[in-house]
Amino acid sequence: MWYKTLIPFGFDYSKIGTPEYVNEYYKALEVIKTEYFINKLSPRQIYEKYNCQEYGNIDNIRNILKSEKLETRDISESLYYAIKTGAYENIHPFPFKKEYHTSWNGKRFLLRSSYETDYAKFLDKQHIDYEVEFFRIKYFNT
């Protein structure tokens, strides 16, 4: 039942079948919108803050926002807020190897993996001139 998702946000499901249920819906929607757009919480953070476990899953919160044709955050914006609020932990079970490498002809590069290091050493043995990340593309959110 769709309305169960809204119960933690103040939705009085006893109003279903009465004209007042619309007001209940918008009251709960305002709580979700405030948490998402004003307080910048993610659907997961909202889900946890309001103890929604017994009322549905995290996707229900996303679906409510989308059903109202509200523009939700894209991945880069979501990651930005996760980092800003401390909700993001960059824990990688296999951290990448980073090291500075000087090529056979004296160029210095930051290599970001053991594969890059191995390939750079192969090119150095062959005395092949090469560049690493010499062309950068600036990414931005339109």
Each residue's pLDDT tens digit, 99-130: 889 999 999 988 988 899 999 999 999 999 99
Are 73 and 131 in the same domain? no
Q: What is the pLDDT of residue 59?
A: 86
On whether both 35 and 79 belong to a single domain, the answer is yes
Beta bridge partners of 99: 111
Asked whether residue 54 falls in the same domain as residue 117, the answer is no
d(CA 65, CA 73): 11
Q: Which two tokens stand for residue 37?
A: 């757009």
- pLDDT given at position 91: 61
The DSSP letter of residue 132 is S
42 and 106 fall within a common domain: no
| CA dist list (Å): 91 to 80, 94, 95, 96, 131 | 16, 9, 8, 11, 30
Q: Are residues 53 and 102 in the same domain?
A: no
Amino acid at 34: T
pTM: 0.60
pLDDT of residue 119: 95
Domain end among 38, 70, 85: 85
Does residue 105 share a domain with residue 37?
A: no
Distance CA 103, CA 129 (A): 8
Residues of the chain with pLDDT under 70: 1-2, 90-96
How many angstroms separate the Cα of 14 from the Cα of each of 3, 17, 28, 90? 10, 8, 14, 44
Q: Do 96 and 62 fall into the same domain?
A: no
Domain count, the chain: 2
Residues 67 and 101 in one domain: no
Q: Which domain holds residue 124?
A: 92-142
Note the pLDDT of residue 86: 76
Bridge partners (DSSP) of residue 101 are: 109
The confidence score (pLDDT) of residue 52 equals: 87
